[in-house]
Structure 1
Amino acid sequence: MAVARRRWVRRILFLAGGLVVGAAAVLLAIWGDWAQERFHGVLAYSRYWALVVTPLGFAVVVWLTRRFFPDAQGSGIPQAIAARAITDPETRGRLVSLRMAAGKIFLTLLGMLSGASTGREGPTVQVGASIMFAAGRLSPRRQAGLILAGSAAGVAAAFNTPLAGIVFAIEEMSKSFEARTSGLIIGCIIIAGMTSVFFLGNYTYFGVSHAALHDRGVWMAVPLCGVVGGLLGGGFSKVVVTMSRGLPNRAGALIKARPVAFAAACGLAVACCGLLSGDAIYGTGYHQVDQVLSGSGTLSWDFGILKLLATAISSISGIPGGIFSPSLAVGAGFGFNIAQLFPADAMGAVVLLGMVAYFAGVTQAPITAFVIVTEMTDNHDMLLPLMAAAAIAHGASRLVCREGIYHALSKGFLPAKPAKAAPAKDASSTPDSASG
């Protein structure tokens, strides 16, 4: 009887947690759009306000992060991965808790309000993990599974991509599948997705794309996008991981000693990228990608590189914010450039290849990459080309950065291992004893 009761408690925790995670994702989506609109409203008075608002905003966000939420910086996915690896509940609570979830939401929105090139999907993962960890207080034996479920539910609800949430749980969060809790994890993802659909409607993130590779010659775009996207994505990851570990020189020491000033400098650099791009690189990049995929807009030739620079600078500044949507936007920018080499009717297809290739290069999670892009565009005609581009990009990325960005960054949130004591020398081997 007691065993049955515990099982029902666990099931209720997963499903109720999915409902709350879905609601949190909806709120973060609505507030995130509001924050971006307010920032662009400021730019409507003068584009050059970014030179003041963005550096000041970055500095304030980093100060608040370091002062009140020291483990909220960056995407949030590395924290969720680290929390699963940690067994001590108190140490886990430092990375995932209701307090951390509230701080992550607030600081992410404040960063977007400042014009950061960040997204909300990574933060939604940490928020989802935090909510499920709080629920796990009632079922301590399943805390790791609850964190996994909350993370995956966050992806599913943020993009309305339930299948991608499941794949993300397997490929990125756990590197395996936990058979004992798999059904509950899927149930949590479904509930979170249904909550998002209930409030926002049954939408696809980038609408419905009918792009396809009709001409055999256009298939050359698959390896081309795969290699370019993989190398660029790997380069982005290498820079972010290296900066997170600290530069081994005077510049690294100065950045460590003056984190708020460094954040302000990063904000100024992002504002400069914004001015050069015609204000196109701020925020998630959703509208620019949506327009080019729907054929109602175009991208400038330098959008991809400026968006990459702005996203990298935002990521190393120390402010909370995700890289999911910005990475898709960067990939779309490079895909748009590569599409100029092919017939005009292949534009949409090549842009999709660029998106999945760069995303796979950054995350080194190729299955998640092509599944999430397929679900976000409801385009199954491109499934095989997207799979191939993601696989090529994964291999190319590993030539530059040996480990995926999220798992590499998660190591910085793990407790430091105690140094091993040096073995005592045998007295008989000392010079004195040898000579005596």
Structure 2
Amino acid sequence: MRRMPAVPSFLRRRVVWWLGALSIGLVAIGFAAAGDRVGALRNALIAPRPWLMLLIAPAGLALSVFLARTVFPGAQGSGIPQTIAALQMHSDRAVDRVLSLRIAIGKILLTILGLFAGASIGREGPTVQIGAALMHTLGRWLGLADVSVRRGLILAGGAAGISAAFNTPLGGIVFAIEELSHSFEVRTSGTMLTAVILSGVTSLALVGNYTYFGHTTATLPIGIGWAAVLVCGLGGGLAGGLFSAMLVRASRGLPGAFGRFVRDRPILFAVLCGLLLALIGIWTDGATYGTGYAQARHMVDGDEQFGRLFPLWKFLASLVSYCSGIPGGIFAPSLAIGAGIGGDIAVLLPHSPAGAVVLLGMVGYFAAVVQAPLTATVIVMEMTDNQELTLPLMATAFVAYGVSRLISPRALYGALAQRFLEANEPGTTTRVSTATEAELR
């Protein structure tokens, strides 16, 4: 009997790229729809009885932490540090644990559970790890074991994930270059571009040509209105740098008796975090629950405000949500916090168009948290379909980035990735800290 000829490796790679990118697009759309559904269900349940969140939030967070530690170990966190760590790992088994289908499924289910419980989390970070896991798993199934190919697939999956989550193809590409790999490699660029395009086409075919925050026509003429660039850059940089520094510090463990309590009683700590989230949400009439997408969009459109202290309450809710130990990202909440900061600054700067200042606040805080100014600029520009503000957005992002670096010298995702490596692949830590310290920054 004649044996079937082996499938050429270049053909197997293309099959992985095509199937993986299409799968990422489908999963991202379903993930977004499920997140919106559970958010609407939560709001319908608590509308007549806001106090129900005093039960839903603690129970939901406790269940999420329990499942993350027993059924889906490794699913905690936003997903982006885990993806960065996977790119640095040398052990195939370690990468398989971080980017498995089990982790991807757990990331989806537990993020949705966290959103139902009112946690201030996003789905974009988890979608990055899910996309990388899908690409990596397909590569394994088709026998693509080469290290450079594996790394290219992880990069492509992460880029396609962020692109499909926000419907921002350019943002996905810039994110992969600036945040995930910190370089543009010729060998992986074609893979990444193919994945981003195919996942974007999938999203376009199923949900149409939409923008995350609709279309805005806000502009910022040269002149006194540009004072908003400096103010939003400084304000967003201070707030975002503080948030980043606090998360980096929390990742190392809290000191004293309270730190031991958090380490030894994680589920009880999650219950306390849930109670605090519920109290903040009840005080703000539910404005701090969930991703913050609706609040940010209302502020971008200028048709609703949520109080001068909304950015502070959302900041606290996001900090508590992340420290509770549940899976979930910080992208969408950061955009909402930044929009709130911009809305507050707009009141103080009557010579600057309010709609433009909201976007500047959004990009300033976002750039300061992730310390990726180009990614922040491109994503906000694409999400609002507004190229008129490109230069003010970029200037604000770089001012905020500089301020954030003064407060938090280590980039958030790089620091969290290094902590993840320490826990999951001992020995890699030394290589990362000595050979790629500058890249992680």
Give the TM-score of the pair, scaled to structure 2.
0.92
- Aligned AA for 2:187? R
Equivalences for residues 281-296 of structure 1 within 5 A: 281-296=288-303
Structure 2 Cα separation of the partners of residues 229 and 202 of structure 1 = 30
Structure 1 Cα separation of the partners of residues 427 and 8 of structure 2 = 39
Q: Counterpart of 2:427? A: 417
SS where residue 379 of structure 1 aligns?
Answer: coil
Task: Give a deviation string over 1:167-187, Cα, whole Å, max 9, x none.
Answer: 001000000012112112101
Shift of 1:215: 6.2
Q: Counterpart of 2:162? A: 155
Task: From the superposition, tell whether residues 149 and 418 of structure 1 become closer, same or farther in structure 2 (CA, over 3 Å).
Answer: closer
Q: Counterpart of 1:431? A: none
Structure 2 Cα separation of the partners of residues 313 and 239 of structure 1 = 11
The worse-fitting range, judged by mean Cα deviation, of 390-399 and 243-252 is 243-252
Q: Counterpart of 1:140? A: 145
Runs of 4+ in 1 over 4 A off after TM superposition: none
Structure 2 Cα separation of the partners of residues 85 and 418 of structure 1 = 8
CA contact (8 A) 1:15 1:184 kept: no
Q: Counterpart of 1:93? A: 96
CA contact (8 A) 1:299 1:336 kept: no
2:128 aligned to 110, 125, 143, which one? 125
Q: Counterpart of 2:207? A: 200
Shift of 1:299: 2.7
1:64 paired to 2:67: yes
Shift of 1:45: 2.5
Shift of 1:355: 0.3
Q: Counterpart of 1:306? A: 313
Equivalences for residues 271-420 of structure 1 within 5 A: 271-343=278-350, 346-414=353-421, 415-417=425-427
CA contact (8 A) 2:24 2:199 kept: yes
Task: Give a deviation string over 1:102-134, Cα, whole Å, max 9, x none.
Answer: 111000000001111011101101100110110
CA contact (8 A) 2:178 2:374 kept: yes
CA contact (8 A) 2:29 2:203 kept: yes
Task: From the superposition, tell whether residues 245 and 342 of structure 1 become closer, same or farther in structure 2 (CA, over 3 Å).
Answer: same
Structure 2 Cα separation of the partners of residues 326 and 418 of structure 1 = 32
Segments of structure 2 that go 5 or more residues without pairing to the other structure are 431-441
CA contact (8 A) 1:130 1:147 kept: yes
> What is the percent sequence identity of the aligned residues?
49
Q: Counterpart of 1:243? A: 250
Q: Counterpart of 2:182? A: 175
1:7 paired to 2:10: yes
Structure 2 Cα separation of the partners of residues 122 and 32 of structure 1 = 14
Task: Give a deviation string over 1:389-413, Cα, whole Å, max 9, x none.
Answer: 0000100001111112111111122
Shift of 1:4: 9.2
Structure 2 Cα separation of the partners of residues 354 and 30 of structure 1 = 27
Structure 1 Cα separation of the partners of residues 105 and 328 of structure 2 = 14
Shift of 1:16: 1.6
Structure 2 Cα separation of the partners of residues 194 and 403 of structure 1 = 36
- Aligned AA for 1:191? L
Q: Counterpart of 2:271? A: 264
Task: Give a deviation string over 1:25-77, Cα, whole Å, max 9, x none.
Answer: 00100001001111111111211111111011111100110111221111111
Task: Give a deviation string over 1:244-281, Cα, whole Å, max 9, x none.
Answer: 21023221111100000111111111111111211101
- Aligned AA for 2:121? T
CA contact (8 A) 2:82 2:129 kept: yes
Q: Number of residues paired by the alignment? A: 419
Structure 2 Cα separation of the partners of residues 28 and 419 of structure 1 = 33
Structure 2 Cα separation of the partners of residues 93 and 41 of structure 1 = 40
- Aligned AA for 2:178? E
Task: From the superposition, tell whether residues 346 and 97 of structure 1 become closer, same or farther in structure 2 (CA, over 3 Å).
Answer: same
Q: Counterpart of 2:236? A: 229
The worse-fitting range, judged by mean Cα deviation, of 225-234 and 355-364 is 225-234
- Aligned AA for 1:398? R
Structure 2 Cα separation of the partners of residues 351 and 419 of structure 1 = 40
Larger radius of gyration: 1
Structure 1 Cα separation of the partners of residues 90 and 6 of structure 2 = 23
Task: From the superposition, tell whether residues 96 and 410 of structure 1 become closer, same or farther in structure 2 (CA, over 3 Å).
Answer: same
Structure 1 Cα separation of the partners of residues 297 and 398 of structure 2 = 24
Structure 1 Cα separation of the partners of residues 85 and 155 of structure 2 = 11
1:34 paired to 2:41: no
CA contact (8 A) 1:98 1:134 kept: yes
Q: Counterpart of 1:433? A: none
SS where residue 349 of structure 2 aligns?
Answer: coil
Task: From the superposition, tell whether residues 382 and 418 of structure 1 become closer, same or farther in structure 2 (CA, over 3 Å).
Answer: closer
CA contact (8 A) 2:299 2:340 kept: no
Shift of 1:345: 6.7
CA contact (8 A) 1:331 1:354 kept: yes
Shift of 1:416: 2.1
Structure 1 Cα separation of the partners of residues 332 and 168 of structure 2 = 14
